[in-house]
C-alpha cells in the first residue's frame, strides 16, 4: 500500500529527490514571488496582488519590514516610524540602557510621549530599497577564474556593481551569493541609525518561560519590544540629533484584531540569517557525533560560571544579561538540533537523496565524484575538527582571550625585519576598536573561571599531540590536580595582564614592542593557542572548507539540473525573504495534540512566584482576575498570547511580521519549535512550526499593562 502510494506520488512529480514540492517549505526571494509562488500563495489564501507584496516603485509590504540591528527583523506599524520587534532583539539595547536604579529590563519601560523615547546608540535598521539578479554579470567576470580564487577576486568584481547601484544616493549595497555561489543577487539598502526605545514589557513578560521554554511550544512569552526610527527633516537617514523627526515610511502594516483560526493564511517577511538545507549526510554526521556535543558541553560550563556571578550582583547581571542570553539560546539550539536530526532521521533522508543523485550523476564528469570527494575531505579533516571547536567555544571564548587574540596581527608585523608603518597603524587601530567592546562586557571573576575551566576541558578532550608547547608551561603552575594548576594559572593571567588598564595599554600601543607582547600573560596565552592552531591545523580546516564549498556548489548545480521543474529556493543569508503557509496545530508525539494558540489563562497557570523564569508581575495577575482585557479578548473571553504557523523561518527572522491574507499584522514571529530543531539543515514537513506572539497580547500589554494608549492611538487597528 505504502509503495503504491509512493510510486503514484513519484510519477505525479510531487516527490522529487525526497523533497515534497507541495508544502510550506521555502524562504523565497521577494522579487521572484510573482513569477514563482504567487499562484500557490493564492491557493493558500492570499488576497493581495503581487505588486502589493514587492514593488520597487509603489509602496508594498517589503517597505514596512526592516533588518533590525543586523541580526533580527522589525516591522513598521505607524506613519511615524513606530517599530515592533522581539524583546530578545531589543534585549541588548534594553539591558544597555538599564542601570541598577532605572532597571528597564526588570521593570519595563513605556514612553508616554516622543520626548521620553530613549536613544539607543549602536542600533540601526535597514530597509530594502530593491534587489536584482546580477548572476550574468558576476559569472561573466568569474569565467576564467578558478573557484579557489573567487573569494579573493570577488570584492574587486562586485565593487563597480554596488557603486553603480548607489551612486548619487544615500543607499548602501552589497551582493550575496545564492545557491552555494551558483547565482548572485544585488541588494540596495537604506540604513537609519537614530533608533529610539519606545516601549518594552518587563523581562518577566518579554522573556517569560526563559531558557526552560525557549525553542518550545506551547509558549506564553510576550516576546516583543518597540522602537522608533528617526530621520533628518528631509526624511533621510541622519545620525542621532534631538532635532531629528519620526521617519515617514513608504508603507506601514495595519493591525488586525479579527483573530485567527486553524488553517488561516499567514506569511512572514524578514531577514533569516543562515540555513544549510543543502548540507550533506557527511555534515550531518559530523554535527551529531562531534561538533554539536562539544559546543553544548563547553557552553554548559561557561553558562554555569556566568550564572553564579550574575546571581550575586544586579549590576553584573545587567552587564552580562545579553551575552548570557545569546550563549544560552544556542546552547539549547544545539541540544535540540542534535536530538531532532536523529529523531527526524535526517542522516537517512540525506543519504537516500545522495544515492538518487549519484545514480543520476553516473557518467557526468562534473557531478559523479562529488560524494567520494566529500567522503575523502571529511576523513582528512575529522581529526582536527574538535580542536577548532575547543578554541572558538573554549579557550578563546572569554572576552579577554578573544580580545587578546586581536594582538596576533601586531605580533606578526613587529616580527618582520622591517616594520611596515601603515600595517602597524592598521593593527593598532583594530586593537583599539576592539577594546571598548571588550571592556563593556569584561568581568574578572567570570573570565578567570571560564579560562581555567576551558583549559581543563581542552587538556582532557583535545588530542594531546595537537596541544601547544605552551601547555607544558601552564602545567608548571601551582596545584596538586590539573584543575588546580589551571586555576592558579588563570589567577596569574588575570592579575598580571595590562589589558584592562586603558592607560597602560594606551602607553604600550604608542610604542609597541615584541618584548611587551611576550610579557603580558593574557596575550601570551591567547597567542600560544591561536598560533599553534593556525600554523599546524588551520591549513586542514581551510582545505576542508574550500573542498566542501566547491563540492556543495556542484551538488546544488547538479540538483537543479536533475530536477528542472522543481521550485528551488536559496539558503538563508540575512537577505529579505518571504515564507507563506497557514496557522496550524500539530501532534508532536504519539497521543499528544498541540492546539494552535495559547492564552493568558495559560500564563497564569504557568506562573511560579519568585521563580527567575516563571514569575509574573502582580499587575498582570490583577488584570486577569478582573478580566480587564479591553478590546483584546477573543470570542471565548480570553486574551490570546501565542500561536503557531507552518511558516519556514530561522534565526534572524526574530521580530518578523506575521501577516494575514489581507496584508494586516496578526503577530510577531519569535521562535521555532523543539520537534523541528533540525530545521536549519532539513525542513520537516510534519513538525516545522513558527512560534508567534499574537498581536492582541502585544496590544493588551501596551495598553492595559503599560498604559501606553498614546501608542495604541498611533497604530491603525482593524476590528
Ligand atoms: N530561540 C529564540 C530565537 O533564537 C530566542 C529566544 C530568546 N529567549 C531566551 N529565553 N533565550 O529566535
DSSP string, 248-285: --S----EE-S---TT-EEEEEE------TT--HHHHH
Cα(436)–Cα(441) distance, integer angstroms: 9
Query: 180 vs 38, 271, 570, 579, 651, CA distance in Å?
Result: 25, 18, 8, 20, 19
Cα(476)–Cα(497) distance, integer angstroms: 19
Element (H, E) at 228: strand 225-231
Q: Is 182 left (phi over 0), alpha (psi -120 to 50) or beta?
A: alpha
State yes or no: pLDDT of 678 exceeds 90: yes
Q: 686: closest CA among 586, 573, 562, 614?
A: 586
Nearest CA to ligand 1 atom 4: 651
Question: How many residues make up the chain in this entry?
Answer: 719
pLDDT digits (tens, 9 = 90+) for 643-673: 999 999 999 999 999 999 999 999 999 999 9
pLDDT digits (tens, 9 = 90+) for 489-542: 999 999 999 999 999 999 999 999 999 999 999 999 999 999 999 999 999 999
Match 514563482 to its residue by C-alpha cell: 36
Residue 211, ligand 1, Cβ within 6 A:
yes
Q: What is the percentage of the chain residues whose pLDDT exceeds 90?
A: 97
State yes or no: pLDDT of 622 exceeds 60: yes
Residue 329, ligand 1, Cβ within 6 A:
yes
Please enumerate in sequence order all residues whose Cβ is within 8 A of that of 323, keeping only pairs 6 or more positions apart, or say none.
Answer: 306, 441
pLDDT of residue 20: 39
Among 72, 329, 656, name the best residue to mutate to test ligand 1's pocket (greatest count of ligand atoms within 8 A of Cβ): 329
Under DSSP, the state recorded for 718 is E
pLDDT of residue 300: 98
Cα(205)–Cα(224) distance, integer angstroms: 9
Please enumerate in sequence order all residues whose Cβ is within 8 A of that of 158, keeping only pairs 6 or more positions apart, or say none.
Answer: 138, 174, 175
Element (H, E) at 110: strand 109-110
Match 493564492 to its residue by C-alpha cell: 42
Among 63, 92, 213, 223, which one carries the catalytic annotation? 223
Residue 207, ligand 1, Cβ within 6 A:
yes
Widest pairwise Cα distance in the chain: 79
In this prediction, residues 320-329 reach a mean pLDDT of: 97
Alpha helices, H only, 344-420: 346-361, 370-390, 399-404, 408-415
Residue 86, ligand 1, Cβ within 6 A:
no
6 — pLDDT class (breaks 50, 70, 90): very low
pLDDT of residue 521: 97
Cα(41)–Cα(526) distance, integer angstroms: 53
Cα(218)–Cα(227) distance, integer angstroms: 27
Under DSSP, the state recorded for 570 is P
Under DSSP, the state recorded for 209 is T
State yes or no: pLDDT of 250 exceeds 50: yes
Match 594531546 to its residue by C-alpha cell: 464
Residue 645, ligand 1, Cβ within 6 A:
no
Return the half-sphere exposure (C-beta side, CA atoms, 13 A cut-off) of residue 302.
29
Cα(251)–Cα(715) distance, integer angstroms: 13
21 — pLDDT class (breaks 50, 70, 90): very low
pLDDT of residue 217: 98
Among 671, 672, 690, name the best residue to mutate to test ligand 1's pocket (greatest count of ligand atoms within 8 A of Cβ): 671
Burial tier of 368 (Cβ tally within 10 Å: 0-12, 13-18, 19+): middle
Cα(427)–Cα(421) distance, integer angstroms: 10
**207 Cα–ligand 1 center, Å:** 8
pLDDT of residue 1: 36
586 — pLDDT class (breaks 50, 70, 90): very high
pLDDT of residue 15: 35
Q: Does the annotation count 87 as an active-site position?
A: no
**208 Cα–ligand 1 center, Å:** 11
Cα(355)–Cα(363) distance, integer angstroms: 14
Residue 313, ligand 1, Cβ within 6 A:
no
Computed over every residue of the chain, the mean pLDDT equals 96
pLDDT digits (tens, 9 = 90+) for 423-433: 999 999 999 99
pLDDT of residue 559: 98
Structural Rg of the chain based on CA atoms: 26
Query: 334 vs 289, 295, 326, 328, 414, CA distance in Å?
Result: 12, 7, 13, 10, 40
Partners of 268 in the β-ladder:
579, 658
Cα(596)–Cα(457) distance, integer angstroms: 43
State yes or no: pLDDT of 72 exceeds 50: yes
Query: 19-28, 143-152, 475-484: which has the minimum mean pLDDT?
Result: 19-28
pLDDT of residue 8: 37
Q: Are 40 and 582 in contact (CB under 8 A)?
A: no
Please enumerate in sequence order all residues whose Cβ is within 8 A of that of 325, keeping only pairs 6 or more positions apart, or say none.
Answer: 88, 91, 207
Please enumerate in sequence order all residues whose Cβ is within 8 A of that of 440, keeping only pairs 6 or more positions apart, or say none.
Answer: 319
357 — pLDDT class (breaks 50, 70, 90): very high
Residue 87, ligand 1, Cβ within 6 A:
no
pLDDT of residue 478: 98
**600 Cα–ligand 1 center, Å:** 20
Q: Is the entire prediction scored with pTM above 0.85?
A: yes
pLDDT of residue 477: 98
Nearest CA to ligand 1 atom 12: 671
pLDDT digits (tens, 9 = 90+) for 679-698: 999 999 999 999 999 999 99
Q: Does the annotation count 120 as an active-site position?
A: no
pLDDT of residue 4: 38
Partners of 174 in the β-ladder:
187
pLDDT of residue 114: 98
Among 87, 214, 273, name the best residue to mutate to test ligand 1's pocket (greatest count of ligand atoms within 8 A of Cβ): 214
Q: Does the annotation count 313 as an active-site position?
A: no
Cell numbers for 314, please give them.
544586579
Cell numbers for 25, please give them.
517549505
CB burial of 281-314 (b: ≥16 within 10 Å; e: otherwise) equals: bbbbbebbeebbbbbbbbbebbbebbbebbeeee
| Helix, strand, or coil (residue 639) | coil
Q: What is the percentage of the chain residues whose pLDDT exceeds 70?
A: 97
CA angle 618, 624, 625 (to 5 degrees): 90
In this prediction, residues 370-390 reach a mean pLDDT of: 98
**651 Cα–ligand 1 center, Å:** 9
pLDDT digits (tens, 9 = 90+) for 265-282: 999 999 999 999 999 999
Q: Are 317 and 310 in contact (CB under 8 A)?
A: yes
Residue 203, ligand 1, Cβ within 6 A:
no
Task: Note the Cα 494 to chain centre separation in Å.
Answer: 32
State yes or no: pLDDT of 579 exceeds 60: yes
Cα(291)–Cα(385) distance, integer angstroms: 8
Return the half-sphere exposure (C-beta side, CA atoms, 13 A cut-off) of residue 187.
22
Cα(327)–Cα(446) distance, integer angstroms: 14
CB atoms within 10 A of CB 365: 7
pLDDT of residue 13: 33
Q: 134: closest CA among 101, 178, 78?
A: 178
State yes or no: pLDDT of 370 exceeds 50: yes
pLDDT digits (tens, 9 = 90+) for 29-53: 999 999 999 999 999 999 999 999 9
Amino acid at each position: 500500500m505504502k509503495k503504491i502510494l509512493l510510486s503514484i506520488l513519484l510519477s505525479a512529480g510531487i516527490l522529487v529527490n525526497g523533497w515534497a514540492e507541495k508544502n510550506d517549505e521555502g524562504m523565497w526571494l521577494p522579487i521572484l514571488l510573482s513569477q514563482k509562488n504567487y499562484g500557490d500563495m493564492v491557493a493558500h489564501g492570499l488576497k493581495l496582488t503581487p505588486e502589493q507584496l514587492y514593488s520597487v516603485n509603489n509602496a508594498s509590504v517589503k517597505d514596512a519590514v526592516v533588518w533590525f540591528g543586523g541580526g533580527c527583523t522589525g516591522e513598521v506599524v505607524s506613519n511615524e516610524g513606530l517599530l515592533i520587534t522581539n524583546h530578545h532583539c531589543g534585549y541588548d539595547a534594553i539591558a544597555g540602557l538599564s542601570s541598577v536604579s532605572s532597571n528597564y529590563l526588570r521593570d519595563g519601560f513605556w514612553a508616554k510621549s516622543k520626548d521620553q523615547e530613549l536613544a539607543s546608540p549602536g542600533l540601526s535598521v535597514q530597509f530594502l530599497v530593491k534587489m536584482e539578479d546580477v548572476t550574468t554579470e558576476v559569472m561573466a567576470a568569474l569565467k576564467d577564474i578558478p573557484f579557489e580564487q573567487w573569494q579573493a577576486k570577488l570584492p574587486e568584481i562586485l565593487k563597480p556593481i554596488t557603486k553603480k547601484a548607489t551612486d548619487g544616493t544615500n543607499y548602501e549595497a552589497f551582493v550575496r551569493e545564492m545557491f552555494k555561489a551558483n547565482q548572485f543577487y544585488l541588494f540596495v539598502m537604506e540604513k537609519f541609525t537614530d533608533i529610539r526605545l519606545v516601549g518594552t514589557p518587563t523581562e518577566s513578560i518579554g522573556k517569560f518561560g526563559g531558557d526552560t521554554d525557549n525553542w518550545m511550544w506551547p509558549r506564553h512569552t510576550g516576546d516583543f519590544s518597540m522602537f522608533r526610527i528617526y530621520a533628518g527633516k528631509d526624511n533621510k537617514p541622519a545620525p542621532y540629533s534631538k532635532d531629528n523627526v519620526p521617519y515617514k515610511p513608504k508603507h506601514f502594516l495595519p493591525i488586525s484584531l479579527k483573530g485567527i483560526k486553524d488553517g488561516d493564511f499567514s506569511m512572514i517577511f524578514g531577514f533569516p540569517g543562515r540555513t544549510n538545507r543543502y548540507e550533506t549526510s557527511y555534515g550531518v554526521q559530523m554535527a551529531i557525533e562531534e561538533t554539536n556535543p562539544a559546543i553544548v558541553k563547553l557552553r554548559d560550563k561557561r553558562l554555569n560560571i556566568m550564572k553564579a556571578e550574575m546571581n550575586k550582583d544586579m549590576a553584573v547581571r545587567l552587564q552580562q544579561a545579553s551575552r548570557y542570553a545569546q550563549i544560552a539560546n544556542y546552547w539549547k539550539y544545539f541540544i535540540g538540533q542534535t536530538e531532532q536530526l536523529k529523531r527526524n532521521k535526517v542522516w537517512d533522508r540525506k543519504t537516500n537523496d545522495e544515492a538518487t543523485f549519484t545514480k543520476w550523476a553516473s557518467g557526468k564528469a562534473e557531478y559523479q565524484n562529488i560524494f567520494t570527494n566529500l567522503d575523502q575531505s571529511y576523513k582528512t579533516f575529522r581529526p582536527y575538527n574538535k580542536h577548532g571547536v575547543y578554541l572558538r567555544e573554549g579557550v578563546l571564548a572569554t572576552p579577554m582571550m578573544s580580545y587578546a587574540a586581536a594582538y596576533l596581527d601586531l605580533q606578526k608585523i613587529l616580527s618582520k625585519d622591517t616594520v611596515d608603518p601603515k600595517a602597524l597603524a592598521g593593527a593598532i587601530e583594530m586593537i583599539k576598536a576592539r577594546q571598548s567592546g571588550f571592556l563593556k562586557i569584561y568581568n574578572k571573576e567570570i573570565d578567570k573561571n571560564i579560562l581555567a575551566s576551558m583549559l581543563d576541558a581542552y587538556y582532557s578532550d583535545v588530542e594531546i599531540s595537537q596541544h601547544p608547547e605552551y601547555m607544558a608551561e601552564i602545567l608548571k603552575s601551582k596545584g596538586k590536580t590539573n584543575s588546580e594548576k589551571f586555576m592558579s594559572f588563570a589567577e596569574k593571567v588575570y592579575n598580571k595582564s595590562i589589558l584592562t588598564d586603558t592607560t597602560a595599554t594606551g602607553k604600550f600601543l604608542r610604542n609597541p614592542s615584541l618584548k611587551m607582547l611576550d610579557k603580558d600573560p593574557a596575550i601570551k596565552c591567547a597567542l600560544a593557542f591561536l598560533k599553534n592552531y593556525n600554523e599546524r591545523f588551520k591549513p586542514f580546516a581551510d582545505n576542508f572548507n574550500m573542498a566542501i564549498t566547491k563540492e556543495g556548489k556542484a551538488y546544488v548545480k547538479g540538483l537543479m539540473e536533475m530536477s528542472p521543474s522543481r521550485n528551488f529556493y536559496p539558503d538563508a543569508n540575512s537577505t529579505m525573504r518571504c515564507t507563506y503557509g497557514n496557522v496550524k496545530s500539530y501532534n508532536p508525539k504519539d497521543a499528544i495534540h498541540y492546539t494552535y494558540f495559547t492564552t493568558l489563562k495559560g500564563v497564569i497557570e504557568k506562573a511560579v512566584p519568585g521563580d527567575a523564569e516563571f514569575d509574573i508581575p502582580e499587575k498582570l495577575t490583577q488584570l486577569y482576575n478582573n478580566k480587564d482585557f479591553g478590546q483584546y479578548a477573543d470570542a471565548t473571553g480570553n486574551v490570546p498570547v501565542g500561536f503557531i504557523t507552518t511558516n519556514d523561518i530561522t534565526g534572524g527572522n526574530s521580530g518578523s511580521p506575521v501577516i494575514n491574507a489581507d496584508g494586516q499584522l496578526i503577530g510577531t514571529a519569535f521562535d521555532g519549535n523543539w520537534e523541528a530543531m533540525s530545521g536549519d539543515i532539513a525542513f520537516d514537513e510534519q513538525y516545522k512550526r513558527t512560534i508567534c506572539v499574537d498581536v492582541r497580547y502585544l496590544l493588551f500589554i501596551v495598553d492595559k499593562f503599560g498604559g501606553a494608549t498614546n501608542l495604541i492611538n498611533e497604530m491603525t487597528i482593524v476590528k
